Structure 1
C-alpha cells in the first residue's frame, strides 16, 4: 500500500472488510511510489499549475482521468478524494504502517482510518513526523520511539522492502501476493475472496466492486 495512491485509497476499506470477514490477518506492507520517475512531477497552488517537470499533455490527460476514475469509487463509499497539489513523500506515513503492525496489530485498521481520509481531503501533512505520530496515537498505537524508528530501523526496512518488491515485479499499489501469485489492482478482490474462502462456487470475474465487501 501507499497512502498517496488514489487507487489504494479507494481499496483500503474493502481490503480491511475482507480481512475481518475471513478472520485473517493480512501482512500489510508499504511501497512508496516514485511517481516522478515515470509520470514526471508538478506542483499546484489554488488549482493552478505553478511548476511542472517532464510532463507531456498526454501524461496530464492520463493523470486527470485516473483521478476522475478513482473519485467515482471514492464517492460511492462516501469518501472525499481531492487531487493532491504536489507529489508527496509518503515514506514516513508508510513507515507508520510497519510501526502500527508491529506495536498494535489490532489497531492497524484505525491507523488507516486516521491517515487515509484526512490526507485525501488535503487536511494531513504526511511528511511531518509529528503529524504521523498524532495519527498513530489517534489510532490507539503508542508513538513513543517512532521518530527514531522512522529515521533508522523503519527506514531501512522500508527501503529494503521497496527493493525487494521491484526485484519481484511489484511496482504499483494496491498489490496482493497470494500463494506466490502477484495480483495488481483492486479488481482482484473478488478473486482473492474466492481463493481465501476455499474456492467454493464458480470463480469470479476480475472486476471492480461498487459496494463494500
Structure 2
C-alpha cells in the first residue's frame, strides 16, 4: 500500500522553498500520495507558541539569514535570502493552490506550489499580486479561471479546514510532512521522511 503524506506548508516559507523539489522527488520515488495543504501559520503560531518573523528577537532573525545562506549553498539551490517582496501575505497564493488541487489534482498543485516559491525566492516577484498569480497559472499550463475560483468560499473553506487539521495533527512549523500521524518538521528532516517511506508496508 502506498504511503500518504500530508504536506503542510506556507507559500511564503523559505524553508518550504528549499525543500520543495527534493520533497517532490522523494515522494515520487516512494510512490507516495501527497495531499497538498497550504495553511495559515498566522493562526497556527499563536496556538503553538510560535512567533511571526517580525516579532522574533533580533539575534534569531539574524541567525535565520545565516542558516538560509548555509542551506542554499549546501543544497545548491539559488535563492535571494532577502527578496524584494518579503514579508508577503501568502493567503491568496495558498487559496489558488487549493483551487488547483481541487480542479486539477495534487500533482498540478505541487507544481504550482513550487512555482510560487520560486517566484518569491528566486525571481523577485510579488506572490500577493493577482497579476503574478495569473502569470504563474499560465506559465504552468493551468486554467486562468482558477484565479476566480480561488476567491470563492469553497477555497477559503478548504484553507480553514486544512489549518484546523494541521493544528489537530500537532503541526507548528513549515514545512511539515505528516505520515501515519508522525510529523517531520523542516526540510532538514527529509532524510528521516525518506527512511520512513522506505519502511516495509503491510497489504
TM-score bin, normalised by smaller chain = 0.7 to 0.9
Tell which deviates more after alignment, 66-75 or 81-90: 81-90
Deviation at 1:179? Answer: 0.8
1:66 aligns with 2:67: no
Q: Does 1:13 align with 2:14?
A: no
Given the alignment of the two structures, is residue 29 of structure 1 paired with residue 37 of structure 2, yes or no? Answer: yes
Question: 1:120-135 to 2 correspondence within 5 Å?
Answer: 120-121=121-122, 123-135=124-136
1:108 aligned partner: 109
TM-fit CA distance, 1:41? 6.5
Cα separation, partners in 2 of 1:168 and 1:25, compared to 1, 3 Å: closer
Distance 1:198 1:109 in 2: 24
Taking structure 1 as the reference length, what is the TM-score of the superposition?
0.75
Q: CA deviation at 1:124?
A: 1.7
Q: Shift of the alpha carbon at 1:10?
A: 0.9
Q: Which residue of 1 aligns with 2:99?
A: 99
Which structure is higher in RCO with an 8 Å CA cutoff and minimum separation 6? 2
Name stretches of at least 5 consecutive residues in structure 2 with no aligned partner. Answer: 1-8
Q: How many Å separate the matches in 1 of 2:38 and 2:22?
A: 17
**Per-residue deviation at 1:2?**
1.1
1:142 aligns with: 143
Q: Structure 2 vs 1, CA of residues 167 and 14 (structure 1 numbering), >3 Å: closer, same or farther?
A: same
What is the count of residue pairs matched by the alignment?
A: 186
Let me know the Cα RMSD of the aligned residues. Answer: 2.6
- 1:118-153, Cα deviation, whole Å (9 max, x unpaired): 201362211123321221221112131432433421
Q: Which residue of 2 aligns with 1:77?
A: 76
Distance 1:40 1:185 in 2: 16
Query: Unaligned stretches of 5+ in structure 1?
Result: 43-54, 201-213
**Change beyond 3 A, Cα 1:129–1:99:** same
| SS across alignment from 2:37 | coil
| Larger radius of gyration between Structure 1 and Structure 2 | 1
Cα shift readout 1:151-210 (whole Å, capped 9, x = no counterpart): 42111211222133224321211111111112212232222212212259xxxxxxxxxx
